[in-house]
Chains A and B, each alone.
Chain A
Amino acid sequence: MTALAETNRATSRGQSLARLLRTLLPALSLVLVLLGIAWLNPRAISYLGFNLMLNLAVPIALATIAQMFVITINELDLSIGPFVGFVGCVTATWLRDTPLFGVAVLLGSIGVYAMLGALIHLRRLPSIVVTLGMSFVWQGAAILLLPKPGGKAPEWLLALMGLKPPFVPFPIIAAVLIALIAHYGLMRTSYGAVLRGAGGNPVAIGRSGWSLLKIKMVMFGLAGVFGVLSGMALIGTTTSADANIGNGYTLLSIAGVILGGGEFVGGRVSPIGAVIGALTLALAASPLLTFMHIPPDWQVGANGAILIIVLAARVLISRREVRT
């Protein structure tokens, strides 16, 4: 009897260890990438180095959070990249020249996102196709607005993104803030639990009286909000816009969510993990890699390799979780 209890306790300890490892995995992979960079070029691990390497981390993290909201309810947003590009074009033109109109357009685009959620829910449409269509719409709108690269970021945005706080580089502070806010909202509030539940078991959530329509609209609307923030942060960093500037963000954001421990179905996501995943990808894609004996040809490949290694590690850990 006691022996059995003993093994049971050992098993549960093994399981919780595996679970802990699984939760820590995104952070571990970030540390691994950092160690790799430190090994290749120790001077990169400095205030200036982080500022340069994490240059684009803030917009990528925001886009990843946007994608995470959509993935929470078992949908996928293939239009977030072009949407970020569209927001960037609005930011570099209207938001600077006619701020009121610019704000109205950005709010309107968030409204469009919420309406897409409603459309997808009411007509039971596959979100992949609807957002695929919308990716053309955002891209087209961006080209209409800014046929040639140009525009200029509003001064206040440049000032914000160019902040140089003491000791800790701005991108790191921003990433921590983003992670904490999203974590609090989605993981710590009761409505956040309902939102995640809508991904885990929509029927149960519906039966217990919550409006699934409203949930879809809220989640797509939140994706719109974070997409807007991402586009603005991007322009604050790059100072000018281009209609194609956000195109890579669709795949980066999906990869970031999954790297961060999120799953495609079941409402299992992790905002902190997603931000860490985005940071890992931003580091792996950073221009500094050029100075680190990684030829530019292989930079994209390095991204893919990191994804595969992290996911492979996760499988090893979750296999242990099942076996023990």
Chain B
Amino acid sequence: MNRVAALLAKPWIWSFLGAVIVFVATISFTGGVGAGGILTAALSLAIFSVIVGVGQMFVITLGPGNVDLSLPANIGLASAVAMKTMGGNDSMIFVGLLAALGTGIAVGTANYALIRALRIPPIIATLSSSFIILSIDISYGRGLQIKPPPGFADFANIQILGIPILAIVTLLFTILAGIALQRTLYGRSVLAIGQNMRAAWLAGIRVERVRFFTYVLSGALGGINGALLAGYFRGASVDIGNEYLLTSIAVVVIGGTSVAGGKANVPGVWGAALFLVLLLTMLNTFGVSPGIRLVLTGLIIVGVITVAGGQKVTR
């Protein structure tokens, strides 16, 4: 009994419960047909939300007002840079990935420079930089060969026993991210800053260095995500990252991370990403129209957050 209660107290349990309920509803509708395929497809799509979600989670955990709105533009630009660098050539895959990573790091650095040097609230800094990144992407991505090299496209779509290889890599990465969050100086610093920036500073935490690293981390993950998306969907485009603005925030919050900052968990990002993808799959299986699908998705997000509850009263 106690164990169950302890489990229910975990903030991330709700997102997994939601994912399971939605999955069961889907396969009971199909009569159990295609359950494996649904899971495989859900895993392949969920990892993209997980990758950017982890970056966004670290940023949001820094405290109120911290959010990275430049992710979609960043993903779009990095996908174009990666595909151009690879140039359809298998031998350039690694260099292309590095280029995407570099793009993301540059974006993260620029974001932090705006926040720090101009003291712009992060939400506006990342918003303004996203406008500029978008322009760079539009003018850079024109007339490019944007198809990924065959080797990279194949790699992004490989499955082992129905589990996409990218999902395994992402799982390993998130385990590392979880350890980084809970067990390293960096992760504990992020949590401390989110709880009380001034107290963290007084306690000797190098607040600005941690914030810098967090925005760069989010940028870098966005960059990598751009390259992987281009590989998976076999092509880069300007709007390839568009849906990740809302999704990256949604997976963080549905996963039980506090929007007020200072409280985060990595498993919830997985649960929420799977929940959102499976929800989409379920509504598609039921054959509802795109309009109804959007309305239901929205209502379910509002419903989940209402039931799972907001912040407890602290004073």
| Contact status B302-A134, CB under 8 Å | yes
Q: Would you list the 7 A-B pairs with minimal beta carbon distance, nearest first? A: A140-B294, A301-B135, A304-B131, A136-B298, A144-B291, A133-B301, A140-B295
Of B127, B130, B139, B294, which contacts A295 at CB under 8 A? B139
The interface of chain B, by Cβ under 8 A from chain A, is: 64-65, 67, 69, 114, 118-121, 123-124, 127-132, 134-136, 138-139, 142, 246, 249-250, 253-254, 259-260, 289-302, 305-306, 309-313
The residues of B that contact A137 with a CB separation of less than 8 Å are 294-295, 298-299, 302
The A122-143 residues at the B interface (CB cut-off 8 A) are 123-126, 128-130, 132-143
Q: Nearest residue in B to A308 (C-beta to C-beta)?
A: B128
Query: Inside 8 A of A76's CB, which chain B residues have their CB?
Result: 123
Asked whether A255 lies within 8 Å of B291 as measured between CB atoms, the reply is no
Instruction: Please indicate the chain A residues that have their CB under 8 angstroms from the CB of B292 in the complex.
Output: 140, 144
Quick check: A144 and B289 within 8 Å, CB to CB?
yes
Q: How far is the CA of A144 from the CA of B132 in the complex (A)?
A: 33
Give me 20 A-to-B residue pairs in the complex whose CB atoms sit less than 8 angstroms apart, sorted by A's number: A123-B309, A124-B310, A129-B259, A133-B301, A134-B302, A137-B295, A137-B302, A141-B295, A143-B289, A145-B291, A300-B134, A304-B130, A304-B131, A305-B131, A307-B127, A307-B128, A308-B114, A311-B118, A311-B124, A311-B128
Q: In the complex, are the beta carbons of B64 and A129 less than 8 A apart?
A: no
Interface contacts beyond A264-B123, A300-B138: sample of 20 additional A-B pairs, CB < 8 Å, sorted by A: A123-B309, A124-B309, A125-B310, A126-B259, A126-B305, A128-B67, A128-B253, A129-B254, A129-B301, A132-B301, A134-B298, A135-B246, A137-B295, A140-B290, A254-B124, A254-B127, A255-B124, A300-B135, A307-B128, A308-B128
> By the criterion CB–CB under 8 Å, are A136 and B135 in contact?
no
CB pair B313 A133 closer than 8 Å: no
A163: which B residues are within 8 A, CB to CB? none
Q: Are A304 and B253 in contact (CB under 8 A)?
A: no
Docked CA distance A137–B301 (Å): 10
**B69 and A304: CB pair below 8 A?**
no
In the complex the two chains form, what is the Cα distance from A312 to B69 in whole Å?
19
Q: Are the CB atoms of A264 and B121 closer together than 8 Å?
A: yes
Question: CA of A137 to CA of B300 in the docked complex: distance in angstroms?
Answer: 10
Task: Say which residue of B121, B127, B294, B313 sits within 8 Å of A143 (CB atoms).
Answer: B294
Docked Cα-Cα span, A242 to B291, in Å, equals 13
- Give the nearest-CB partner of A255 in chain B: B127
A residues whose Cβ falls under 8 Å from a Cβ of B: 76, 78, 119, 123-126, 128-130, 132-145, 147, 251, 254-255, 258, 263-265, 295, 297-305, 307-308, 311-312, 315
| Contact A129–B127 (Cβ < 8 Å) | no
Q: How far is the CA of A139 from the CA of B289 in the complex (A)?
A: 13
Whole-angstrom CA separation of A311 from B306 in the bound complex: 36
Is A297 touching B118 in the complex (CB atoms < 8 A)? no
Q: Is the interface of A mostly helix, strand, loop or mixed?
A: helix
Contacts of A128 in B (CB 8 A): 67, 249, 253, 259
Q: How far is the CB of B220 from chain A (nearest CB, A)?
A: 21
Counting residue pairs across A and B whose Cβ atoms lie within 8 Å, the total is 152
CA distance A299 to B309 in the complex (A): 42
Cβ contacts under 8 Å, A264 to chain B: 65, 121, 123
Give Cα distance in the complex from A299 to B139, angstroms: 11
Contact partner of B305 (CB less than 8 A), chosen from A125, A147, A265, A302, is A125
Which of A119, A140, A254 has most B Cβ within 10 Å?
A140
- The distance in angstroms between the C-alpha atoms of A302 and B298, with both chains bound, is 33
Residue pair B69, A299 in contact (C-beta under 8 Å): no
Closest approach, in angstroms, between the C-beta of A211 and any C-beta of chain B? 17
Which single residue of chain A is at the shortest CB-CB distance from B313? A124
Interchain CB contact under 8 A, A312 and B302 = no
In the complex, what residue of chain A is closest to B140 when comparing beta carbons? Answer: A297
Contact, CB under 8 Å: B298 / A299 = no
A255 lies within 8 A of B128 (CB): yes
A140 adjacent to B131 (CB under 8 Å): no
Could you say which residues of chain B place their CB within 8 Å of the CB of A295? 139
| Given known A265-B64, A297-B135, A308-B128, contact A140–B120 (CB-CB < 8 A) | no
B249 touches A132 (CB 8 A): yes
> How far is A139 from B124 in the complex, measured between Cα atoms in Å?
24
A311 → chain B closest CB, angstroms: 5
Give the complex CA separation of A142 and B292 in angstroms.
Answer: 10
> In whole Å, how far is A210's beta carbon from the nearest beta carbon of chain B?
19
User: Across the interface, do B119 and A133 meet the contact criterion of CB distance under 8 Å?
Assistant: no
Q: Are B291 and A143 in contact (CB under 8 A)?
A: yes
Return chain B residues, CB-CB under 8 Å to A315: 118-120
Residues of B within 8 A of A263 (CB): 121
Taking CB atoms, residues of chain A closer than 8 Å to B114 are 308
Most chain B CB within a 10 A radius of its CB, from A136, A138, A147, A264: A136
Partner of B291 from A141, A304, A311 at Cβ < 8 Å = A141
The answer on a CB contact under 8 Å between A119 and B135 is no
CB distance from A307 to the nearest CB of B (A): 4
CB contact between A130 and one of B134, B291, B300, B305 (< 8 Å): that residue = B305
Highest count of chain B CB atoms <10 Å: which of A76, A132, A311: A132
